[in-house]
Structure formats: structure tokens, C-alpha cells
Amino acid sequence: MFNALTIAGSDSCGGAGIQADLKAFSANGVYGMSVITAVTAQNTMGVFGIQDISPEIIKGQIDAIFDDIEVHGIKIGMVSKIESIKAVAQSLEKIKKLPYIVLDPVMVSKSRFKLLSEDATKTLIEELLPLSFLITPNIPEAEEITGRKISNIDDMKQAAKELHKMGPKNVLVKGGHLNGPATDIFYDSVNFSEIKGERIDTIHTHGTGCTLSSAIAANLAKGMEVLSAVTMGKNYVAKAIEKGFKLGKGVGPTHHFYELYRKAGILDE
Ligand SMILES: Nc1ncnc2c1ncn2[C@@H]1O[C@H](COP(=O)(O)OP(=O)(O)OP(=O)(O)O)[C@@H](O)[C@H]1O
Ligand SMILES: Cc1ncc(COP(=O)(O)O)c(N)n1
């Protein structure tokens, strides 16, 4: 059985963060494990508070897993403070055979709440980008890290090149925030690939980025090569968005078990 580890924040309403990651791991056929970096009080309408986990307990969780278990893939999501980022980086750097790391550099929630402290962007860039096999910024995150405005596919390609210079082996700039088709740009230091997708007309997109990065981490954990892992992850998130549903009063979550539910006759076609 292959496994994957998420290092991220908890979302109490289960649409994003650790909860989305574990669902995406299961649905993509790997056993899921978690290191919680922060607990958010969150629902479909917004984020109402954050409690960061102490650096000691973040390190303790990572050490406990790696002292005992061979990990096949890692996804990193929300790590909100400088001390938390350093705790993650220091713990991972000690590991001799580090599995592939997919970093989703989470900065702001869909509901516009800051999930990364203002002063922590530089530390995120310096400590986590060089450790990553793949980073998956959305457009505002890619703009913040590169300091460039991104308005079209050419800008996304230019940003991917600049992000690559900061240390990750591969870059996927996600196009969810542009108008038109949901096209993501993949760059592996030599070639660009346009990972195309139809834009689905829905408001229920809570946790799309978490879902995509976790599906890709699961695919890498299973041994897929990177472009297939990204393409299959993109297919997965498209289906999860298509089947996204109303939960509460605001932005509903992606759907992770549509195949299972469909086979059980629970899901309407
Ligand atoms: N309406 C949509 N229809 C189809 N695909 C979409 C849509 N919105 C986003 N996507 C796709 O979902 C994936 C996640 O992209 P997005 O830009 O939404 O990430 P994100 O902003 O980091 O997500 P989040 O912060 O909500 O977790 C990308 O592959 C993107 O192209
Ligand atoms: C704990 C946590 N991690 C990540 C997100 C980003 O997801 P979204 O942009 O859909 O709010 C979130 N809202 N909460």
C-alpha cells in the first residue's frame, strides 16, 4: 500500500486543508497521514480564527512519522508563520531519503482571509521552495512570489520560469483565477505544457487547490512520472469540481468520492 503525508492546516468545515487532502489521498488510492500546522475556525462563508500549532509539536509530528514509516509522497499546504515554516524545513532536511514534495504555497483563502503571515513570504520562498519537487501556486500566489502581474498564458509561463529559478524542480501555475478556460501551465525547466480544462460554472470551489496538490502527491507516491501525475491530478480536480455541492450558506466543497457514490447509487448523474 502506498502512502502520502499532508503537512497543512485544519479546516473545520472539511472543504480545504488537511481534511480535503486526506479525502483526496483516499480517493486516489493511497493511505493518508497528517501533520497539522494550524487549526482554523472556518466554514463555507469564511475563516474566523487561527491557532498555530507550536514548532515543537510540528517537529514532533514529522519526527514521529519518519522515525517509524517509509513515506512515499508529501504535500505541504498552509504553514502560516515563520517559526512553523522553519520547523517544517528543519525536520524535512534531516531526512535521508526524502520523498517527492508537492508544495501548495497557500497564502489567502477564497474568502480573502490571510493564511500566511505578512512577514513570512520570504521564509516560505527560502526554506520550502528549494525542498520541493513541484510547486502549485495559483495566480495571486505566483504574483506575490515573483512580484509580477499575471494576466494571460504568456505571463503564467514567464512566472513559471522565474519560480523555477527559486529552487523547485517543477512548477505548475494554476489558472483557476483567470477568466476563460481553466488552463494550468506546467514547467519542468525545459518544456512548458498547457494542462487544459473546461471552466465549470459553479460557486462550489472551496478547496480546489488543496484537492489538486494532494491528488498529484498521491499520484507521485504511486510512482507516476511528473507530467502524468499532474495531468491525472487535473482530471481528478475537474471531476471533483463538477460534482462539487452546496454545503452551508457559502462556497461549497469539491466532491471526492463521486465514483464510489455513483456505484452505490447515492450520486445523481
Ligand atoms: N471553475 C473551474 N472549473 C474548472 N477548473 C477549475 C475551476 N476553478 C479552478 N479550477 C482548477 O482547479 C485547480 C485549482 O486551481 P485554483 O486556481 O482554484 O487553486 P487555488 O486558488 O489554489 O484553490 P484553493 O485556494 O481554493 O484551494 C486548477 O487546476 C484550476 O485550473
Ligand atoms: C486550512 C486551509 N488550507 C487551505 C485553504 C485554502 O482553500 P480555499 O482557497 O478554497 O479557501 C483554506 N481555506 N484552509
pTM equals: 0.97
Q: Where are the alpha helices (DSSP H) in 28-178?
A: 55-68, 82-93, 121-123, 139-146, 153-165
Does residue 186 surpass a pLDDT of 80?
Answer: yes
* pLDDT tier, 265 (very low <50, low <70, confident <90, very high otherwise): confident
CA distances to 66, 91, 217 from 62, rounded to whole Å, are 6, 7, 17
Fold of 3-263: UDP-N-acetylmuramoyl-L-alanine:D-glutamate ligase (3.40.1190)
pLDDT digits (tens, 9 = 90+) for 113-146: 999 999 999 999 999 999 999 999 999 999 999 9
Q: C-alpha cell of 92?
A: 524535512
* pLDDT tier, 268 (very low <50, low <70, confident <90, very high otherwise): low
* Mean pLDDT to the nearest integer, 170-176: 97
Does residue 260 surpass a pLDDT of 90?
Answer: no
- Identify whether the C-beta of residue 31 lies closer than 8 Å to the C-beta of residue 2: yes
Does residue 193 surpass a pLDDT of 60?
Answer: yes
* pLDDT tier, 235 (very low <50, low <70, confident <90, very high otherwise): very high
Q: C-alpha cell of 66?
A: 519518519
What residues form DSSP beta bridges with 11? 40
Alpha carbon of 89 to ligand 1 centroid (Å): 26
Q: Ligand 1: which of 205, 234, 241, 255 to mutate, most ligand atoms within 8 Å of CB?
A: 205
Does residue 157 surpass a pLDDT of 80?
Answer: yes
Alpha carbon of 17 to ligand 2 centroid (Å): 6
State whether the beta carbon of 102 lies less than 6 angstroms from ligand 2: no
Question: Which amino acid does the sequence have at 200?
Answer: I
Residue nearest to atom 3 of ligand 2 (CA): 17
Alpha carbon of 158 to ligand 1 centroid (Å): 20
Looking up cell 511528473 gives 226
Residues lining ligand 1, Cβ inside 6 A: 16, 110, 138, 174-177, 182, 184, 197, 199-200, 202, 205, 207-210, 212, 234, 237-238, 241
| Percentage of the chain exceeding pLDDT 70 | 99
- Domain locations in the chain? 3-263
CA distances to 45, 75, 134, 163 from 216, rounded to whole Å, are 27, 9, 9, 19
**Phi, psi torsion values for 222, nearest 5 degrees:** -80, -5
State whether the beta carbon of 50 lies less than 6 angstroms from ligand 2: no
Alpha carbon of 208 to ligand 1 centroid (Å): 5
* Mean pLDDT to the nearest integer, 85-107: 97
pLDDT score at 107: 96
Q: Give the chain's mean pLDDT.
A: 96
Q: What's the rounded Cα separation, in Å, for the pair 42 and 12?
A: 5
- Identify whether the C-beta of residue 20 lies closer than 8 Å to the C-beta of residue 208: no
